[in-house]
Amino acid sequence: MAALRVALLQQPLAWQDARANRDAFERLLQPLAGGTDLVVLPETFTSGFTMEVATVAEPGGGPSAQWLLRQAALLDAVVTGSVITAHEGCYYNRLLWAQPDGRLLHYDKRHLFRMAGEHEHFTAGRAAWSVSWRGLRVCPLVCYDLRFPVFSRRRKELEYELLLYVANWPAARADAWQQLLRARAIENQTYVVGVNRVGTDGTGIGYAGDSAVIDFEGRTLLAAGAHAGVFSAELDPVTLAAFRQRFPAHLDADRFTLDS
């Protein structure tokens, strides 16, 4: 079984300018055609992490969703990231999962970052889900979700081999970002990919990047550091399966249910 090729786009974001962000990412995506299976963009990649939702929100299936589907078809890869989305009078921090076959899935961020007032402007999502993609089952989540291990715990109802986080995670809490990515990998015996932005947003908050790929034993396969760039890694499902069989800690995990 072939390894899954993942591209991480760690970039600055133009504040509340969807077209500028799409154009900038498109230039970076073009050289990846035929060379990757999964492209990961940051959280709110069209706008930055703004609370001015009425100004920047797009409808479901709007311009950025259509752009993601076009890029996925051109690259023959999934392209994913989150977009501030309006639906039936509510606003969501919505991760869009665009496949090259035209399928578009979404996950609405469950844990809203109250320290920035996100819970006052957005509606929380509900359950996490996973989807099979070229040999790995992927669970995509958003930023602050990283701090809540029970929600993302690998279990019968939520099986995966790759836990994915898109983020706008400030530099002030960079140590927490790095440690929590590693913790999620170890406790779930899974690959973890975290993609963060760099630069300074329109409120003056700085972001240090530190996008990373961590393996199922907590070892760092890729550390992007603080610079903008396109970074890549390969995730081997065979090695992961062998490790889980050799060290089946999941069989001793506690059973639990989550409230909706």
Q: What tokens does 86 get?
A: 């309006």
Q: What is the dihedral of CA 34, 215, 94, 111, to 10 degrees?
A: 180
Q: Which residues are catalytic?
A: 43, 109, 143
What ranges in the chain are assigned the alpha helix state H?
A: 18-29, 53-56, 63-75, 118-121, 149-152, 174-188, 237-246
Nearest to 8 by CA among 235, 170, 183, 174: 235
- Return the DSSP state at 116: G
